[in-house]
Each structure stands twice: as structure tokens, then as C-alpha cells.
Structure 1
Amino acid sequence: MTTATPLVNGQTIGLAHYASRALLERVLARSGTTFNQSVALRAVSDNGGTVERAWLVGRLTGALKIDESAAHKTVAGMTDAKLLEPVAGQVSLTDSGRELFEGVRVGGNEIAARLYAGIPAEELATAGRVLALVTERANAELADA
């Protein structure tokens, strides 16, 4: 039996997201890290290890489509757990936060390597452009609502 190639739409994008996220959740569970915390760790790490607390809250609300109270709760939980250190309106990765993020990053990269193996670079680039455009349009509609 031959399976037809599915159209790219919200359902196929969602299925790919949830399947790959389920694999990442296994990595996160080993360290007791939530998905929201992993997004925060990456955001801080990708921006030099120290960011404005308000920027991080905005990044979480924008990227995860969560409300501000949930984003503040994530950041507060991370400071309580000594993953982030608050200093004068900013938060910085602690040594524990860096170590945790490195483990999550390595695990996530291993998953990505397996999932994307054998897919030609030009196809991945096309998919990336399409998904970035869909995200941009959805975010524009959300901003207008």
C-alpha cells in the first residue's frame, strides 16, 4: 500500500511538532526540566548568558503563546531552582543552568540528527522558509486580534 504525500498544513506541522517534542520531553524528564524552562534556557544562552528579565518574559510569551503570568512563573521557578540568577532587572545563567542547558542541547541535537538524517539540505531550507513565513503570518494575525 502506498501512502500519498500529505499536504503541508496545520495538521501535518502539528503532528511533526508533537512527535518530535515527545522525544525531547524524554530528554527533559531525565533532568526534571519543563519544556518552558528549556525554551528559557536556550533564549538566555543564545543571548550571551544574561538578558533583561522583561525581555525573557516577552520571549516566552511570544514563542510559546503563553500569558505573562505563566512566563513570570517559569522565570521565578528557574531562579528558585538556581538555574538563573536575578541581578538588577536581569537574569543570568548560573553554572547549574549552563550545565543543564548543555545536556538538553546535546540531547535535542541528537534527536534532530536522527530525525533529519538523509533529508537533502535544499529541502530542509525550503521547509524552513515555508514554516518561517507561516509563523510570521500567524503572529501578524495574533497581533491584530
Structure 2
Amino acid sequence: MIDFFTNVAYYVGVSRKKPYFGQFNYMQKFDYWAVFWGMFIIGTSGLFLAFPVTVSYLFPSWSLSWAWDVLFVMHSDEALLAIVFILFFHFYNEHLRSDVFPMNYTWLTGKVTTEELKHKHPAEYDYLFGDKANQGK
């Protein structure tokens, strides 16, 4: 959360200090964990919707009148949210930004240039190259 607020303060102009991200920044972490959140929501609601007879034995009849509507909304809205998130947020941040356009090749090669590491993940750069980077200065 500190990285998020530091980044917002930098972009808004409140702080002149650039965020000091490690190996993964908060956007990449959110991108990673969103998959598991989505799998849980879609998986759980999908199982309930796929096996209505079994679910009707587990829950009382008074709860089923509104539960199917809630489960359907959870399932469909999470799917829509995942599609919109991937198309806009993920593709822009990881592939279509002006500094990596037309595509960031890290996902194909698994390699990051030293300049990209220094610019986007300065804490990781300092961890890997620490004193070596400052010896030339």
C-alpha cells in the first residue's frame, strides 16, 4: 500500500521522489493475485450454478429464491471484470505503454534489460548490482 500512495503522490506532483519498487511493483502484484481472486469467485459460483440439485440439498429452500440470482450476478460480473481488466489494465501496463510499444518481450524471453530494471525496479537493481553500480561514479 505504501508503494501505491508513493506512486500516486509522485504522479500528482505532491512528491518529487520516484517510487522505489522492488522485483515486483504493486500493479504487478495486483495483476498476479487478481487471477486467484477471480478463480475463487468464478469457480465457487460456477459449481453452485452447475449443480443446482446438489446445492438445493445443502441449503434451506428459503435461501434459494435469491441465491441463484446473486450467484449468477457474481459469476457473470466477475467474468466481465476479468475480461475488461485484462484487455485494458494488463495489456496497457505490461505491453502497450509508450516505453515498451509495440510489445514488451520479457514475457517471451524472460529477460529484462539493465536499463529497464534500473528504471522500473530500482530496489531490485540495487539489490543485484548494489556497490558495483556505484563504483563507476
TM-score surpassing 0.5? no
Pick the structure with greater CA Rg. Answer: 2
The two structures have a TM-score, normalised by structure 1, of 0.28
Richer in strand (by share): 1
